[in-house]
């Protein structure tokens, strides 16, 4: 397992280098240089000033030297300086945006994968009734929905008509005026708390799966879940740091409901359909027949025998879905004015702030690569055949 993880890690680092190279050259060979773009609308810039600007930005050097400089600087954490927020380094902007995006992406990803898997499982199990047709058609309809359109419809319905949820942004400035924290501190705290809770939940479930008696499994699962929830509540209500941060964290969570709901509704159908077909195939296998013949309860056959086997192709699809999830996240951020990586990517592109655009894109690539790495490791963990037969 460790060898497998290390090999994947080395591959990922290599892939990242290739990714960075391709991105850089792609942006370089496309017509139009950043200085010309930046000053294109201003005819008053004299040629001398332009030359000085070129020299200061290092654009007068040969391509390969520029490329080498860029790579060196990148790995020293220097991504240049934003054009629009002038003296501010790009790394600073990205550091501010990254936690917000992470919290949003991860919440949406977990929600929609879970929803899709559970829905697909039950759809396959109750094959052929009328509800199945309705859910399938509804799911495909949502799946091909135009994301901004759907998001705005949801905003209109829940925020404008009903007035239940905030329209956009990630916090309520009035409430945060005298806040003793920066928003990002709260985001980091939210991120860690959610991560720890998720890990604890996963561990409890996993221990339950591994146990051989059904009673023990139930105890582990329910008890683990209850323990995690109790810990969660204790943290926010019992401890001092949790209590002081609670209203602010609650505000952020409140603003997160609609983006997460949008992404979930749009994306869960893909997972659902895949789980359904994979589950239907599994249900035809001999070991399911054996399990039925043994007289095992339906729930056990469904959850322990069929669903676990059917999970494998779904996890594989996660590899392909990482890019899609990030794309969806970028668009969602733009629609909800959620000030994360996707939003800065789009606004910097619209304002022709090239260093920020490239930096944001590079970090979105890093996110995608890390996502792939996690999925690969997870897959190797779930399916022992991968670890053994993997070579090269």
Partner 1 sequence: MVERNLPAETHMADPFVSEPIIQEVDSWWRIRLALMRRSFRDNWKIFRRNKIGVFGLVIIAFWGIMAVMPTVFFATGFWSPAVYDPVTGLELDPPTRTMTMVERITDPNTEIDQRAVLLDGRIPDTLRIGDTFDLPLQPAPPDGRHWLGTDPLGRDILSQLMHGARASFFLGIMAAVVTVVIATTIGSMAAYFGGIVDSALMRFADLLIMIPGVALLIVIGAVFTYQLWHLAVVIGILSGFGGTAIVLKSQALAVKVKPFIDAARVAGGSARHIIFYHLIPNVMPLSVLYMMFTVTGAIQSEAILSFLGILNTDTSWGLMMNLARTQGYLLQVADFWWLTIPAGMAVTLLSGAFFLVGRGMDEIVNPRLRRR
Judged by CB under 8 A, which of 226, 350, 378, 382 binds partner 1?
350
- Give CA–CA dist 236/248, Å, rounded: 11
Q: Mark the segment that binds partner 1 (CB under 8 A) among 43-51, 133-141, 251-259, 285-293.
A: 133-141
Would you say 83 or 235 has its CB closer to partner 1?
83
Asked if 274 contacts 120 with a C-beta cutoff of 8 angstroms, the reply is yes
Judged by CB under 8 A, which of 153, 227, 289, 388 binds partner 1?
153
Tell me how many residues contact partner 1 (CB under 8 A): 56
215 interacts with partner 1 by CB under 8 A: no
- Give CA–CA dist 282/189, Å, rounded: 41
Query: Per residue in 191-219, is it b (16+ CB within 10 Å) or e — as a string?
Result: bebbeeeeebbeebeeebeeeeeeeebee
369 interacts with partner 1 by CB under 8 A: yes
x-or-dash string of contact with partner 1, 327-346, rule CB under 8 A: x--xx--x-------x--xx
Q: Where does residue 354 rank: exposed (0-12), middle (13-18), buried (19+ CB within 10 A)? A: buried
Would you say 186 or 358 has its CB closer to partner 1?
358
- Give CA–CA dist 373/389, Å, rounded: 18
SS (H, E, C) 294-352: CCCCHHHHHHHHHHHHHHHHHHHHHHHHHHHHHHHHHHHHHHHCCCCHHHHHHHHHHCC
User: Partners of 81 in the beta sheet?
Assistant: 89
Q: Mark the segment that binds partner 1 (CB under 8 A) among 91-99, 204-212, 226-234, 365-373.
A: 365-373
Q: Mark the segment that binds partner 1 (CB under 8 A) among 54-62, 110-118, 153-161, 304-312.
A: 153-161
x-or-dash string of contact with partner 1, 9-28, rule CB under 8 A: ------x--xx--xx--xx-
- In the complex, least distance from residue 322 CB atom to partner 1, rounded to whole angstroms: 7
Q: Where does residue 121 rank: exposed (0-12), middle (13-18), buried (19+ CB within 10 A)? A: buried
Would you say 116 or 208 has its CB closer to partner 1?
116
Judged by CB under 8 A, which of 135, 260, 315, 322 binds partner 1?
322
Would you say 130 or 177 has its CB closer to partner 1?
130
366 interacts with partner 1 by CB under 8 A: no
Q: Please report, as ranges, the residues that interact with partner 1 according to CB under 8 A.
A: 15, 18-19, 22-23, 26-27, 30-32, 34, 37, 137, 140-141, 143-150, 152-153, 155-156, 160-161, 167, 319-320, 322-324, 326-327, 330-331, 334, 342, 345-346, 348-350, 352, 354, 357-358, 361, 364-365, 368-369, 372
């Amino acid at each position: 397992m460790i060898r497998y993880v290390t090999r994947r890690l080395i591959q990922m680092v290599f892939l990242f280098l290739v990714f960075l190279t391709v991105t850089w050259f792609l942006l370089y060979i496309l017509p139009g240089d950043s200085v010309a773009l930046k000053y294109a609308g201003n005819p008053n810039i004299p040629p001398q000033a332009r030359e000085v600007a070129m020299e200061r930005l290092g654009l007068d050097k040969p391509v390969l030297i520029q490329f080498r400089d860029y790579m060196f600087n990148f790995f020293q954490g220097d991504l240049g300086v934003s054009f629009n927020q002038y003296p501010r380094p790009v790394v600073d902007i990205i550091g501010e945006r990254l936690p917000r995006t992470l919290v949003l992406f991860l919440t949406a990803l977990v929600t929609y994968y879970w929803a899709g898997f559970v829905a697909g499982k039950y759809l396959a199990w109750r094959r052929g009734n009328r509800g199945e047709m309705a859910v399938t058609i509804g799911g495909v309809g949502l799946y091909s929905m135009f994301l901004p359109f759907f998001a705005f419809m949801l905003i209109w319905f829940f925020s404008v008509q009903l007035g239940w949820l905030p329209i956009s942004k990630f916090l309520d400035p009035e409430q945060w005026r005298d806040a003793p924290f920066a928003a990002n501190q709260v985001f980091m705290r939210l991120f860690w708390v959610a991560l720890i809770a998720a890990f604890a939940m996963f561990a409890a479930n996993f221990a339950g799966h591994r146990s051989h008696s059904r009673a023990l499994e139930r105890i582990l699962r329910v008890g683990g879940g209850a323990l995690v929830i109790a810990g969660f509540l204790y943290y926010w209500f019992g401890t001092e740091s949790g209590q002081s941060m609670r209203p602010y964290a609650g505000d952020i969570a409140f603003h997160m409901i609609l983006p997460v709901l949008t992404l979930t509704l749009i994306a869960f159908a893909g997972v659902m359909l895949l789980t359904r077909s994979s589950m239907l195939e599994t249900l035809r296998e001999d070991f399911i027949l054996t399990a039925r013949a043994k007289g095992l309860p339906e729930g056990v056959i469904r959850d322990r025998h069929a669903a676990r086997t059917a999970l494998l192709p779904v996890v594989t699809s996660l590899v392909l879905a990482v890019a899609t999830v990030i794309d969806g996240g970028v668009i969602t951020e733009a629609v909800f004015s959620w000030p994360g990586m996707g939003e800065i990517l789009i606004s910097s592109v619209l304002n022709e702030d090239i260093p920020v655009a490239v930096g944001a894109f590079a970090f979105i690539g890093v996110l995608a690569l890390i996502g792939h790495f996690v999925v690969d490791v997870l897959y190797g963990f779930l399916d022992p055949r991968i670890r053994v037969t993997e070579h090269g």
